[in-house]
Every structure is written in structure tokens, then in C-alpha cells.
Structure 1
Amino acid sequence: MHATTGKTTKPAASVAFATASLLTADDIAPYLADVLADGDARALPLALRTVADVLGMAELARRTGLNRETLYRTLSERGNPRLDTLDAILRAFGLRLSVQPAPQPKPRTRRTHALRTATA
């Protein structure tokens, strides 16, 4: 809550700005990989927005051929980018989409199961 106005502040915006100011071109791929590794697909558009702020929305629009309004809407909390839009944005940063096998959970052993039931 803001001390003067009493209104609730949105820390996400300031965090995104701070993150964008710290990112370099070499940081973008690992940053996006970390966001995707968390498993929350809704975080990707916001992370791309942060990355877009590094380049500037006007420059991103020029590189992707998309207009700025579309980019702002797509890379918002309610954004749901189409695959071709994601591809264009990633290519503007010299990146591409790829598919990798998901890590498999470790199988439960009998001993682990026995310990859990004994302590329950």
C-alpha cells in the first residue's frame, strides 16, 4: 500500500522494469528458459514484455512486423499470444521455439511408501 495515497501498489510493474534494466542480450534466453521452467504458461507473455522493454516496443514492432498496440495487448496479463506471434517475437531476439522432453518424476519405492504410511 502506498504510504501517501493509501492505494494498493503494483510491485510487478516495478519488478519488471528493474528486471528489464538489468537484462542484457546474453541474458534473454536464460531468463525466458527460467520462466518456462517454472511451468506457469501465463508468465511467458509477461516475461516477453519485460524482454521487449529491453529492446523497446517500437523496435520490436519494426522487427516483428506487428503493430505496437498488438504487442502491448499480447504481452499483457490477459495476453494469450498465438504461436506465430510468439515465434516472431522470439526471432526478433535471435531465439526460436524448441521442444524438449519433460523431466519424469522419480518412481516411488516401496520403502518410501511404507515410511509415509507408517508416519501418517
Structure 2
Amino acid sequence: MVISQEKIEKYGITDYDPAECLTDEETINAYLAESLASGDQAEFLEALSDVARARGMTQLANETGIARESLYKALNGTTKPRFETILRILNALNIQLTTQYKQATV
């Protein structure tokens, strides 16, 4: 469904930005865990990008030593960033990846 510009202005409709809702560690953890569980790399990178924007890309760039433009490129979902880059981003965000076995399906 396409919403006309007139209705957007009349009703004050704005684009939804998930980064605005990522205000605490519990929410961020659940958000990233769900995106990672999907198995879709682009989805996880988009979620990680949302978290990075919520925390501040400039600060993240300073903490990782990766230029802001490079961070946006790495997290845009169309590239395949190096695992080292992802680990640097997660570390700067104080996020730790863990593993566990999946339950077997019968």
C-alpha cells in the first residue's frame, strides 16, 4: 500500500526506525539473537546496523578504528564484511557471541 504525501503530512506518519527502540541491553540482545537465528546474513547485518546507529556511528567508528563510511558499507547488508570487522564492531558495542547446539529435529 502506498501512502500519499498528503496523508503523510495530514496524519504525521513517519518512517519507522528500529534504532529508536534499541535503548537497553536486554532489547538489543533479543533483537540481535532473533536476527541471527534467522540464518540470513543480510538480516543480521541490518540488525547490527540498527544497533550501531542506536549507539552512535561516530562513537563506534572511534572505538573500532573503522571509518564511519566503512562501517555503513560493512553493515549495509549488500556486502560481505570480514569476520574480523564484525568482531571489532561487536566488541566495541560490548556484545559477545556465544554458541549452543540446536535441538535436533525428528
TM-score scaled by length of structure 2: 0.79
> What is the DSSP-based 3-state SS (H/G/I as helix, E as strand, rest coil) of the residue aligned with 1:42?
helix
Change (3 A) 1:25 1:63: farther
Higher relative contact order (CA 8 A, sep 6+): 2
Correspondence for 2:22: 23
CA distance in 2, matches of 1:36, 1:2: 32
CA distance in 2, matches of 1:4, 1:29: 36
> What is the DSSP-based 3-state SS (H/G/I as helix, E as strand, rest coil) of the residue aligned with 2:41?
coil
CA distance in 2, matches of 1:92, 1:55: 10
Q: Which amino acid aligns with 1:98?
A: T
Alignment of 1:14-53 (within 5 A): 14-15=15-16, 17=17, 19-26=18-25, 27-53=27-53
Aligned residues: 96
Give the aligned CA root-mean-square deviation in angstroms. 1.7
Alignment of 1:1-120 (within 5 A): 1-4=2-5, 14-15=15-16, 17=17, 19-26=18-25, 27-105=27-105, 107=106
Structure 1 stretches of 4+ with a deviation exceeding 4 A read none
> What is the DSSP-based 3-state SS (H/G/I as helix, E as strand, rest coil) of the residue aligned with 1:62?
helix
Unaligned runs of 5+ in 2: 7-14
Instruction: Render the CA deviation track for 1:33-86: whole Å, top value 9, x for unaligned.
Output: 011112222211100110011111111101111111110101103021211111
